[in-house]
Amino acid sequence: MEYAVQVENLVKRYGSFNAVDDISFDVQQGEIFGILGPNGAGKTTTLEITEGLLKPTGGSVTVLGMDLARNAKQVKSRIGVQLQSAAYFDYLSLREILGLLGTFYPRATPAKDLLQQVDLVDQAGMRLRQLSGGQKQRFTVAASLVNQPDLVILDEPTTGLDPQARRSLWSLIRQIHEQNITIVLTTHYMEEAQTLCQRLAIMDQGRLVAVDTPANLVGRLDVGYNVKVVLSRPLSAEQAAAFNGKVKLAEAHSESLNGTTYLFRLENTSTMLAGVLEQLEQTGSALEHLDITPVTLEDVFLTLTGNELREEH
């Protein structure tokens, strides 16, 4: 079995609204696969279909070699799921919740081992509401591992966490990955997708925009780096327009950000930057600040969808 998940021509329609609009992708065994997109892109809908929670309007999903439509129960016993913002029973301790969940599966890891893995042994007797946000997320990841799954599906595992808790969760996800468990996760954090995921699907408005490794996605753009300059006075419209003719600027061209701050996206060639700087000097406006950064997924996303990727609603 080569693929952990195969999605073919998947469609989910609510009335006339296409939540998922004819998407196809494969997740390979043993990889960390990310689905990146803004809120409402169809990420969660895609996951919930894969988990057997929602029935697709069209298309098919194969999980761990089993057709989901026919083998939902077998699929469910071999996947681990962390739902977006799912809570667990109040009035049960962490240990009891994991123990109870374990009884639902043919095989189960003891609660103690799971809590050890997510570093919550000391909190075993506590209730979920007594935990911090990061601890809660680690617990829900532990809950997704209770049945020793071959595939773990995490829906926005780090949303709402502070940077430190986020990093701790990343290392937990990598640990799980080292146990040869395939991981599919959704995120709207670029940094997370870039550092954590081996391959990425970018979704926007129910459609699949691209599927590739983060490096390949970035390499697809004919852009090597971003150049941000702050000038002593604004460029005239004429001067700004002149850059379009002379310098090959990517997609967004030069755009005024803050009066005297300009952003250029440049091809990765040795002469490109020199040309821009020379031209700026000729405008008679002094260069007050220069910032050169490599192109990131954010730029890829902007290029592919034309939309800003916002972190919150």
> Residue numbers of the site for another protein (CB under 8 A)?
51-53, 73-74, 76-77, 79, 81, 83-92, 96, 99-101, 103-106, 147
Q: Whose Cβ is closer to another protein: residue 78's or residue 166's?
A: 78
- 66 or 302: CB nearest another protein: 66
Compute the least distance from the CB of residue 35 to another protein, in Å. 17
Could you give phi then psi for residue 309, rounded to 5 degrees? -95, 105
Least distance from another protein to the Cβ atom of residue 59, Å: 20
Type of residue at 185: L
* Residue placing its CB nearer to another protein in the complex, 53 or 131: 53
Distance, CA of 310 to CA of 313 (rounded, Å): 7
Nearest-angstrom CA–CA distance, 57 and 40: 18
Report yes or no: 66 and 124 within 8 Å, Cβ to Cβ.
no
CB of 99 to another protein, least distance (A): 8
The distance of closest approach from Cβ of residue 7 to another protein in the complex, given in angstroms and rounded to an integer, is: 17
Min dist CB 151 to another protein, Å, is 12
Residue closer to another protein by CB (options 88, 243) is 88
Query: How far, CA to CA in Å, does 236 sit from each of 161, 196, 284?
Result: 44, 43, 11
- State in angstroms the smallest separation of the CB of 127 from another protein: 9
Compare residues 104 and 113 and give the one whose CB is closer to another protein.
104
Alpha carbon distance, N-terminus to C-terminus of the chain? 39
If we measure between CA atoms, which residue out of 276, 284, 222 comes closest to residue 254?
276
Euclidean distance between CA atoms 83 and 48, whole angstroms: 9
Which ranges of the chain does DSSP label H, i.e. alpha helix? 43-50, 72-78, 94-102, 111-117, 133-144, 163-178, 190-196, 214-220, 237-246, 270-282, 297-305
- DSSP state at residue 127: B
Nearest approach, Cβ of residue 201 and another protein (Å):
21
Q: Which is nearer to another protein, 94 or 266 (CB)?
A: 94
Nearer to another protein among residue 134 and residue 149 (C-beta): 149
Collapse the DSSP code of 305 into the 3-class scheme (helix H, G, I; strand E, B; otherwise coil) and give the result.
helix
